[in-house]
Structure 1
Amino acid sequence: MAANKPNKLAFLSMPAPASYVAGLGRGASGFTTRSDIGPAREGPSADVVAEAQARRGEEAEIDPEQFQDPDNEYGLFAGTTYEADDEEADQIYEQVDQNMDARRRARREARENAELAKHRAERPKIQQQFADLKRGLSVVTDEEWENIPEVGNLTRKKRKRDERSFVVPDSVLVGDRSKGEYENALDSRQQTAGGFETPAENGTLTNFVEMGQARDKILSLKLDQVSGTSTSSGLSTSVDPKGYLTSLDSVILKTDAEIGDIKRARMLFDSLVKSNPKHSPGWIAAACLEEHAGRMVAARKIIKAGCEQCPKSEDVWLEAARLHNNDDAKVILANAVQHVGQSVKIWLAAADLEHDIKAKKRVLRKSLEHIPNSVRLWKETVNLESSAVDARILLSRAVEVIPLSVELWLALARLETPDKAKAVLNKARKAVPTSHEIWIAAGRLLEQEAHTPGKTEEQRDKELEVVDKTIEAGVKELRRHQVLLTREQWLKEAEKCEGDGSLRTCEAIIKATVAMDVEEEDRLETWLGDAEAAELRGNVGTARSILAYALKVFPDRRSLWRRAADLERTHGTRESLNAILERAVHHCPQAEVLWLMWAKEKWLAEDVPAAREVLEKAFVANPESEQIWLAAVKLEAENGELGVARELLVRARTVADTQRIWMKSAVFERQQGQTSTALETLDAALKKYPKFPKLYMIQGQIYQSQGNFPAARASFSTGIKAVPKDVTLWILASRLEEADGKSIRARALLDKARLANPASDVLWAEAVGVEERSGGTAQAKTVLARGLQECTTSGLLWSMAIWAEPRPTRKSRSADALRKAADDPLIISTVARLFWAERKIEKARQWFERAVKINQDLGDVWGWWLKFERQHGTSEYQDEVIRRCVAAEPHHGAVWQSVAKDMKNTGKSTKENLELVAAALH
């Protein structure tokens, strides 16, 4: 039975069915391997696969593209005939789609660029944040780079030491031990029959150890003798060991790479001079290479061959002279003169080799025989002459030989007497009619002659007028000879004359040329720009001359007179400023500001009667001028004439009758303690000018100072109703309620004020202050955040936000503020105070300087700067801040106005107010 039992594994050897594919039930398909190439079988057909899937209950996958028309696979009219008009329609639609996509692309790209720019502005890259530091690296010197310490290990982790040890072989130890031993015995193998025996007959052996020691001793003795330390022998030596070591340090050791480069370069230059022996730069380069390699003999030999091959090249001769000593160089240059006798460089080099003045003169005069038309040789020869007479003789001969050299003519004119100099310049003008330097020199000569002592003022003025005529004639003559210097070139010549001390010649050049090539409508703007540019370069005389000419053309321009007055105030004297202002009010009598400037200058000079006289003249020219009346009142009040000041105010209310005069009248009575008179004046003024907010402010403040809160509240309320857009009235009303202990009403008033005056950062700042003073710090931060949302560029609010932050986050907050309001002086001042807190003194000073340049009218910034200098600056810095603040006369700033308008500080100067503000800031 066992023999008839079927074998279960026999099916493996059975042939497969015709359509059998291994793994078909698992989703496999037929494939062909490398071993199947040849009698490979084809895979099952699509019908067989579909039948097998149907038996398993699977749905056959349908390719959605198998029934498509290959000629027209997609489209609304698939299956129809595709004609030429259809193709044209498709092209039109495709073109429309492309145009629409291009339009959307432009909008989309613009939107994406704007979003990207906004994102970059809010979150700049790291490289942008450090851009200013990178620019600062451009001024770091090499020495500072080298002194930067190594970073070292900043990980604060102890590095593991390699504590592995290795066993040293015995052979190394034995070999190292035997290095210091001396062999004092002969090898026994050398005494064999085939060897040799020692020649010593007494049987003693040579002691090599003693020989070595003796050699060391002798060497030590020689070294001591050379260094001069051996005194027992009594020998002396001329060898300086320190100098010897220094000379050793000066020896340049070349690396193998440098030696290889020198060898290759030597081969190249050798090939060059052999292939083109008449090429002088090749010989020079080959000689320089040998000099660099330290082979001076070879270098001289090469340059000698170069002189033989290129005898007409002055460079080869000059290089040969450089490579030899002084005596040999003289011989070489003497030979050079025979070949290139017209070379100025050769003669000058030969003169430089001479150390004796007479020898130099001899060489240079010999050179003039060969090259008489060389201006440089004549100049060098004249410079060697110590006597003016000899120099004059040489220059006379020089201008005869070279009549077209302007330099030589001018040099000869400087050496002559004034009368002879005029003759020399006339000859020069005829010889070189196209030179403007000769005309300018003539003008300077006439000016110098006019200022000689002993002449009257009338004679001096006449001679100075000749200077103007000479320059004017020179410009015309140059134009006739087609020499057309530009206007900028003439201005540079004028500035050069001013630098040489010839102010009248400078003025004459300006008069003759400043109007050249300028359109009539652009003259004033152009001249103001020229004057400003000259002043920035430090040429005040040129700027003054330009403005003087402009005032002659435009005598009725007030701005021009003010510019001239500012120039004299900055760079001139008090007398010149008074002269300018006197001329200004003569030409512009209706210009109130010029009268006030003149009166103020008289007052600052402590000449009160002259100031009164100026104001009296101003009253005649401007009887109804509000500013002149108020200036007269201030002058009398400051000088203690209170009765005169009160009388002037009464007359001013009658003659001028402006709201400002009424206000000043009330303020004057209040300052003098006449409260009732001030209130009466205010009542009368409010009947005339009910829309003037400052009248309500003064009235309310007077009532508040008296403790009459209901009357003050009524004044402020009436003012708010009359002028709801005035922010200061709202703030004063709010502070009144706060002073009365009613913070809730103060908040309500500020809320109403912000509704009437949206986007007012001052109102938001006052609201934040109310919350801080009432103890609500969290609420103050909330109000500040709302204010920043409405007034995103307010420097006042950003400054408050910076100081509201903790110390670690103030720097990042200041960076945000600078991005929003980069040119706000309050932000700049806040950043300076941050640097101050970090004790970065120079940076803080620079930022304070930047803040006052942006706006000089903010007194708080000046106060902070003075407070900073009081703590960290010197007395010079402090005096400079005070001086500049007094010159700027600031009027705004929260603390500054509170100090300046306090009744206790009435009559105090700007300097005193600055000190008070600096003390009040904290």
Structure 2
Amino acid sequence: MASKPNKLAFLSMPAPASYVAGLGRGASGFTTRSDIGPAREGPSAEAVAEAQTRRGEETEYEPEQFQDPDNEMGLFAGMTYEADDEEADRIYEFVDKNMDARRRARREAREASELSKARAERPKIEQQFADLKRGLAEVTDEEWSNLPEVNNLTRKKRKKDERSFVVPDSILVGDRSKNEYENALDPMQQENGGFETPAENGTLTNFIEIGKARDKILSLKLDQISGTATSISGTSTSIDPKGYLTDLNSVVHKTEAEIGDIKRARALFDSLIKSNPGHGQGWIAAASIEEAAGRMVAARKLIKAGCEKCPKSVDVWCAAARLHSTQDAKVILANAVQHLPHSIKIWTEAANLETDVKSKKRVLRKALEHIPNSVALWKKAVNLETSVTDARVLLARAVEVIPQSVDLWLALARMETPEKARTVLNSARKAIPTSHEIWVAAGRLLEQEAMKEGKTEEERKKELDRVDATIQSGVRQLRQHQVVLSREEWQRIAEKCEEEGSPRTCEAIIKATVSMDVEESDQLKTWIDDANEAAAERGKIVCARAILAHALKVYPDKSSLWEQAANLEKIYGTRESLDAILSRAIEHCPQAEVLWLKAAKEKWLAGDVAAARDVLGRAFDVSPESEEIWLAAVKLEAENGEISAARELLARARNLAGKERIWMKSAVFERQQGQIPTALSILEVALKRYPKFAKFYMIQGQIHQSSKNYSAARASFAAGIKVCPKNIMLWILSSRLEEADGKSIKSRSLLDKARLANPGQELLWAEAVGVEERSGNAAQAKAILSRGLQECPSSGILWTIAIFSEPRPARKARATDALKKTEKSDEPRDSAQVICAIARLFWAERKIEKARQWFERAVAPDSEPDWGDSWGWWLKFEREHGTAEYRQRVIDQCSAREPHHGRVWPSIAKDTANFGKRTSEILELVADALE
């Protein structure tokens, strides 16, 4: 029979490895002291999770349990990211965006409905009063002005209105009879005749005498007030009867708003001075409020309290003196000096209160006893002295007390004799070695001594050289004492010396400092810019001349520098200085043609033709092949009537320097002299040598056209166009020839061909418009003008034509468009022409000053002064509306600019009948020709 298994056998069996008693019931394993022995591990994570599952508890996961520690991108970070993964992510993202959009739409709709519902239940205040606000538009200005002012803004409890009581009838009756009087006599008066009444002591009262006495007293008072009588105290006041009503009208009546502002400001400053009584500005402001309100007594009372509370405040004492009369102010400032004996402002105010010079001197000297180191007080004291000796004594004492004051040293030097002044300046230089003003004053002193009368030129030159040496020594010693002024600062000091009449000191300063802080590679450009700015912008000619003189010493071979110096002397200098500059220029730069030509021209303009010939002869020796010099010599001889000499010079020039321009000038000269066959023969030879020079064909064609030989002229222009198709004037002259021959159709076709061969040329479009206008085709002219503006949108000539082709009311708008378009042009000539057209518009509207201003703008140096038509229009305008001075100014400015271009100017200037005429004469002819 088998034995039964023992159910309790497990009690004797060893426990499992990870057994914890009561683990299923929530117990946890622990170890006690009795369990000391080999360490045992606790239950594993799987066992714990299994036990929690049996108990129905959820397993807690850590947030980072399934993250990859390498890249933290999740569990599948190490897997390959394929195209289907990318597509899935894109789909999920698209779905998320759509869901977000739907949620947002629902949310916004819900919020809008809730908001509208809330607005319906609780509308805004502005919606509640919208109808009332619209009704404010009907309120009149009178109703607005009658609105009461709001004064009480402090939320304080207002006082209740005082109670009123009924007045008894007895009081009313008594008050009514108080002012009554009777004109009937009582019985006693009737007995005495109505004049005298017995008094209590039995005497009689004479009312007539009383009335006379009253009138006499009243008249006496009126006389005293009006100044005709003297009062008992010996003083009187006068009333101006004429100005009395004026004074009444000048009384300012404050409005209720201003009164309210004054009350609020008074309360504010009252609180300030009570909370902070030591704040001086608060007392001044409070007194100013009372002064503005017209309460001078209250203002003086407040400022007096301020003086007591703030005895160390200079401003409070000065304000108190201002608010009181002169005598009271003196007393106030005397008290102020007791508290603030070292205040310069108080002593100055006290001196200003005195009326006589002696009292002022006494106050200032008392002030200098307390404040001996005040430069301002010493200056005031010196200025009061009428004697030079006394002023010198004061200044000597001042420089002893304040040896660091440059102004006092300079003032003392100006009062001394030249010998003593030099000693004073030496002492000042030792006392203040860092002052540049003392060195400048020393240079000016030496210059004044040198310019005195009675000295020879050699002595004067030596003393002026001492000015240069003094300034150079001063700059050097200032650098040794670490006083380094910049080049710009020295230049400003030099300009100040020029303003004060010390040109040699100015030149010495420029000479000693012009090279400071300038790199050698930038010297030339920097000096040229400095000279231009000094002369053109600031008008400091001596400084500009000194800068250029130093630059010419460093760069004597720069012809541009010599030319700039010559231009400066021509504008601001004398004839002698200009000749000296040009003589030196041609010595240092003999190869510069422009300097030779300028020198010869200046000699000729001065009337010295022999000297001009001599200059050109020397120029021939240096540059025998220079066409400019040859042509200048020809012009000189021709304009002085030496025709044979000019013709001989041209012949020699054709042999020695036979360039295109020489041959052209030869032909033009012969044409001007009426030698047409000679001119044509010269042109034939020239065309064989230079067949591509367009001006030969132009001159030849014009000669034939003037002789009515249209076929020969047509052949010349055609030959020129064939060789030089890009020359615009050949096309234009050919077109004008056909138009003069009565063939307008051929003229149009030529211009069409010219525009095809030379697109974008404004002169061709302008000529085509002129052909149509002269033919009477206004509509066709406007169409061509429109096409031309499309191809040349910034053309000044075309815009000018367009402005005046419009009806008068539309011209202003057209001019505005033209000005905007031409401002973008690279050529200033386009904008200048439009500006001239605008000036003509103002002229047509009789706006004289505006028209003159716009004419000046059209010929300004930064615009286009070379456009001769603008000068002609301006002179024509001044003939009609200007004076002789205005006309002469236009002529002088035009002669200085010497214009060469324009639509009318070249044809008149190059006309053979105007040969030898000056610019002023050409200007007169152009003004006559303009329409």
TM-score by length of 2: 0.74
Matched, 1:552 2:553: yes
Stretches of structure 2 lacking an aligned partner (at least 5 in a row): 1-81, 96-172, 174-180, 188-211, 231-236
5 Å-filtered alignment, 1:507-656, equals 507-535=507-535, 536-656=537-657
Contact 2:220 2:229 in 1 (8 A): no
Q: Per-residue CA shift, 1:302-324, capped at 9, x if unaligned?
A: 22222222222222221222222
1:71 corresponding residue in structure 2: none
| Counterpart Cα distance in 2 of 1:329 and 1:603 | 76
2:673 corresponding residue in structure 1: 672
5 Å-filtered alignment, 1:362-381, equals 362-381=362-381
Cα 1:394–1:723 shift into 2, 3 Å: same
Shift of 1:227: 14
Matched, 1:246 2:246: yes
Shift of 1:749: 1.5
Q: Secondary structure at the match of 1:492?
A: helix
1:331 corresponding residue in structure 2: 331
1:789 corresponding residue in structure 2: 790
Shift of 1:225: 8.1
Q: Per-residue CA shift, 1:452-495, capped at 9, x if unaligned?
A: 22221111111111111111111111111111212111111000
Q: Secondary structure at the match of 2:773?
A: helix
Shift of 1:880: 0.6
| Counterpart Cα distance in 2 of 1:538 and 1:761 | 40
| Counterpart Cα distance in 1 of 2:716 and 2:838 | 40
Q: Secondary structure at the match of 1:515?
A: coil
Give, as a single letter, the amino acid of the residue that structure 2 aligns with 1:386.
T
| Counterpart Cα distance in 1 of 2:780 and 2:182 | 116
| Counterpart Cα distance in 1 of 2:317 and 2:527 | 56
Cα 1:83–1:763 shift into 2, 3 Å: closer
Give, as a single letter, the amino acid of the residue that structure 2 aligns with 1:490.
W
5 Å-filtered alignment, 1:251-650, equals 251-535=251-535, 536-650=537-651
2:894 corresponding residue in structure 1: 885
Cα 1:227–1:812 shift into 2, 3 Å: farther
5 Å-filtered alignment, 1:734-883, equals 734-822=735-823, 823=828, 824=830, 825-853=832-860, 854-883=863-892
5 Å-filtered alignment, 1:187-226, equals none
Shift of 1:259: 2.8
Stretches of structure 1 lacking an aligned partner (at least 5 in a row): 1-80, 95-189, 191-197, 205-217
Shift of 1:761: 1.2
Shift of 1:201: 12
Contact 1:227 1:241 in 2 (8 A): no
Shift of 1:200: 12
Give, as a single letter, the amino acid of the residue that structure 2 aligns with 1:899.
I
RMSD, aligned CA: 2.8
Shift of 1:290: 2.0
Shift of 1:90: 6.8
Contact 1:226 1:239 in 2 (8 A): no
Determine which of 869, 889, 904 is the counterpart of 1:895.
904
Q: Per-residue CA shift, 1:106-142, capped at 9, x if unaligned?
A: xxxxxxxxxxxxxxxxxxxxxxxxxxxxxxxxxxxxx
Shift of 1:202: 11
| Counterpart Cα distance in 1 of 2:239 and 2:392 | 56
| Equivalent pairs, count | 721
Q: Secondary structure at the match of 2:497?
A: helix
5 Å-filtered alignment, 1:107-118, equals none
Q: Secondary structure at the match of 2:859?
A: helix
| Counterpart Cα distance in 2 of 1:647 and 1:879 | 38
Contact 2:566 2:578 in 1 (8 A): yes
| Counterpart Cα distance in 2 of 1:708 and 1:91 | 94
Comparing 688-697 with 535-544, greater Cα deviation is found at 535-544
Shift of 1:673: 1.1
| Counterpart Cα distance in 1 of 2:866 and 2:744 | 32
Cα 1:202–1:439 shift into 2, 3 Å: closer
Shift of 1:298: 2.1
1:905 corresponding residue in structure 2: 914
Comparing 738-747 with 690-699, greater Cα deviation is found at 738-747
| Counterpart Cα distance in 1 of 2:183 and 2:731 | 128
Q: Secondary structure at the match of 1:385?
A: coil
Q: Secondary structure at the match of 2:904?
A: helix
Cα 1:239–1:308 shift into 2, 3 Å: closer
Q: Which has the larger radius of gyration?
A: 2
1:9 corresponding residue in structure 2: none
| Counterpart Cα distance in 1 of 2:84 and 2:718 | 86
Contact 2:650 2:662 in 1 (8 A): yes
Q: Secondary structure at the match of 1:894?
A: coil
Shift of 1:83: 7.6
Q: Per-residue CA shift, 1:24-56, capped at 9, x if unaligned?
A: xxxxxxxxxxxxxxxxxxxxxxxxxxxxxxxxx
Give, as a single letter, the amino acid of the residue that structure 1 aligns with 2:443.
G
Shift of 1:389: 1.0
Contact 2:865 2:899 in 1 (8 A): yes
Q: Secondary structure at the match of 2:252?
A: coil
| Counterpart Cα distance in 1 of 2:924 and 2:274 | 86
Contact 2:835 2:858 in 1 (8 A): yes
Contact 1:451 1:460 in 2 (8 A): yes
1:919 corresponding residue in structure 2: 928
Give, as a single letter, the amino acid of the residue that structure 1 aligns with 2:740.
A
Q: Secondary structure at the match of 1:272?
A: helix
Q: Per-residue CA shift, 1:643-664, capped at 9, x if unaligned?
A: 1111101111111111100111
Cα 1:300–1:783 shift into 2, 3 Å: closer
Cα 1:343–1:648 shift into 2, 3 Å: same
Give, as a single letter, the amino acid of the residue that structure 1 aligns with 2:249.
D
Cα 1:790–1:428 shift into 2, 3 Å: same
Give, as a single letter, the amino acid of the residue that structure 1 aligns with 2:605.
L
| Counterpart Cα distance in 1 of 2:447 and 2:782 | 72
Give, as a single letter, the amino acid of the residue that structure 2 aligns with 1:829.
C
Cα 1:641–1:325 shift into 2, 3 Å: same
1:10 corresponding residue in structure 2: none
TM-score by length of 1: 0.75
Q: Per-residue CA shift, 1:160-217, capped at 9, x if unaligned?
A: xxxxxxxxxxxxxxxxxxxxxxxxxxxxxx9xxxxxxx9999999xxxxxxxxxxxxx
Give, as a single letter, the amino acid of the residue that structure 2 aligns with 1:375.
V
Contact 1:832 1:847 in 2 (8 A): yes
Give, as a single letter, the amino acid of the residue that structure 1 aligns with 2:395.
L
| Counterpart Cα distance in 2 of 1:200 and 1:819 | 93
Cα 1:569–1:226 shift into 2, 3 Å: farther
Shift of 1:726: 0.8
Give, as a single letter, the amino acid of the residue that structure 1 aligns with 2:893.
R
Q: Per-residue CA shift, 1:613-641, capped at 9, x if unaligned?
A: 11111111111110000000000000111
Matched, 1:682 2:683: yes
Give, as a single letter, the amino acid of the residue that structure 2 aligns with 1:834.
L
| Counterpart Cα distance in 2 of 1:783 and 1:808 | 22
Cα 1:90–1:663 shift into 2, 3 Å: farther
Cα 1:704–1:365 shift into 2, 3 Å: same
Cα 1:727–1:83 shift into 2, 3 Å: closer
Cα 1:714–1:90 shift into 2, 3 Å: farther
Q: Share of identical aligned residues, percent?
A: 67
Contact 1:227 1:240 in 2 (8 A): no
Contact 1:385 1:391 in 2 (8 A): yes
